[in-house]
Structure formats: structure tokens, C-alpha cells
Amino acid sequence: MNATPDSADDLIVVGKIFSVHGVRGEVKVFSFTDPIENLLDYKTWTLKREGVVVKQVELVSGRSTQKDLVAKLKGLDDRDEARLLSGYEICISRSLLPDLAEDDYYWYQLQGLKVIDLQEQLLGTVDHLLETGANDVMVVKPCAGSLDDRERLLPYTAQCVLKVDLAAGEMRVDWDADF
């Protein structure tokens, strides 16, 4: 395992180790990628806990179990050692993420954007997104200068999100502030 991880500012969380699998040091991983197997495309993971970058590990192999992944990390052959990694977030450099088509965004790019409605009212900022069966949902929390102190759940759909301007740090939405 390597002890020289990437800069914390350059990292994006793509999964989390949540348990061990078997007796040979494999770990169970919850993947935040879609599809979940895409996490296995990244051979070097930077592990982080409570916001602190700890170390880099090398992925030797991995497989899907339908709802999560089982991963074998280089130099990790003991179940008890593997158990110590439970709770660590798996990060990769943002530069390794594939380029997206125009008007497609990674969730991390939307977080922190000011959300402004058709009446030019600031509803708040995007705190995080939730994946639901029908569509993704943005959790918009109040901020300095926002219309009120309400938290809102807005669908991340073409009908609601009219424009995303990353450079300006804004998102324009068609949403009734009273809803």
C-alpha cells in the first residue's frame, strides 16, 4: 500500500468500504458509480476517513454481487487487517473521470450551486442529490440571501432545471417557491 495519496482537493468519493468478505482479506464495497462495476475500472484508490486522506491502495481484482462489490487489494491478505478498512471512503482523482456530453454534469459539480427560480428568487443552494426510482432529486438548503429558511426537494429533470451555469455558480429552475 502506498502512503503518498493525491491532494485532497483533487479527490472525488466514488465508493465506500463497509465490511470484509471471506478470510483472505477481501473487502465489501458500496459503489457510487453507475453502473456499480465502473468502480473496478480505477486501479488505484485513495482511502479517506472523516475527510482525512490516509493512503493509496492498489486494486488487484474485484467482482459484483449485484448490490455491491467484493475487492481484493494488493498486500491485504488477512481478514483482521481488512476489517480495519471498514468505513473508509474510496476516492479517485477528478481528472480520471470521463468527460461528459454537453449539459451533463457529475453530482459533485452541482453541489453548492445557487438555485434561482423564474421570479429571480434565491431558493438556496444544492446541498446534495438523492437517487430515486423515477429521477434524481436535489436537496436545496437555505443559504445567506435565500428567500426563506425552508429546505426543498426539487426533481433533477429537464422540466425543472432550465439552465446550469457552473462558471456563475448558478442553476435556474422552474419551481414554485411555495411548493
What confidence tens digit (pLDDT) does each residue in 37-56 have?
999 999 999 999 988 888 99
> CATH 2.40.30.60 in the chain, residues?
8-96
Length of the chain in terms of residues written: 179
**150 pLDDT exceeds 60?**
yes
Q: What residue spans in the chain does CATH classification 2.30.30.240 cover?
A: 107-173
Q: Measured between alpha carbons, how far is 12 from 97 in angstroms, rounded to an integer?
A: 9
Q: Which CATH number fits domain 8-96: 2.40.30.60, 3.40.47.10, 1.10.3720.10, 3.40.50.720?
A: 2.40.30.60
**Could you report the per-residue pLDDT of 102-146, keeping only the tens digit for each?**
889 998 899 999 999 999 999 999 999 988 878 999 999 999 999
Does domain 107-173 bear CATH number 2.30.30.240?
yes
* Percent residues over pLDDT 70 in the chain: 95
Q: How many CB atoms lie within 10 A of CB 30?
A: 15
> Which residue from 19, 165, 127 is spatially nearest to 154, judged by alpha carbons?
127
pTM: 0.76
Distance CA 72, CA 136 (A): 31
Please give the pLDDT value at position 51: 83
